[in-house]
């Protein structure tokens, strides 16, 4: 039996192939797109993140009749006169940049 907390990767003397069961959950868009392009499954993400893979033909749309449009993020902030400086700078920047 192995001791808890021991780094087992240093004890492995041969290559191992591990086939995971279950969904891939990632917080990095590039990893998600790469996994979908490699054929590991479907991806549910914003079209802007998938544009290059869709245009190149590496991925094909699925259920496109049910796609929802995303008009973009919205920033809600208090409209009081004494807004904190960093928030005021961000609001001013977003207004002028039209991000």
What digits encode the pLDDT tens for the residues 67-88?
A: 877 777 788 877 777 888 898 8
Helix (H) or strand (E) holding 30: helix 29-37
Taking the domains of the chain in order of start, what are their residue ranges?
8-97
- For residue 58, what are its two tokens? 């590496």
Longest dimension (CA), the chain: 66
Whether pLDDT at 3 is above 80: no
User: Where does the pLDDT of residue 16 fall: very low under 50, low under 70, confident under 90, or very high at 90 and above?
Assistant: low
Neighbours of 83 (CB within 10 A): 14
What digits encode the pLDDT tens for the residues 45-67?
A: 888 889 999 999 999 998 888 88
- For residue 2, what are its two tokens? 């192995």
């Amino acid at each position: 039996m192995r001791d808890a907390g021991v780094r087992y990767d240093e004890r492995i003397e041969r290559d191992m192939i591990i086939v995971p069961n279950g969904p891939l959950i990632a917080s990095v868009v590039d990893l998600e797109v790469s996994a979908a392009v490699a054929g590991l499954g479907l991806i549910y993400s914003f079209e802007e993140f998938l544009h290059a893979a869709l245009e190149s033909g590496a991925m094909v749309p699925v259920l496109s009749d049910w796609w929802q449009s995303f008009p973009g993020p919205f920033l809600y902030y208090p409209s009081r006169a004494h807004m904190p400086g960093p928030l005021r700078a961000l609001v001013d920047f977003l207004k002028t940049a039209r991000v």
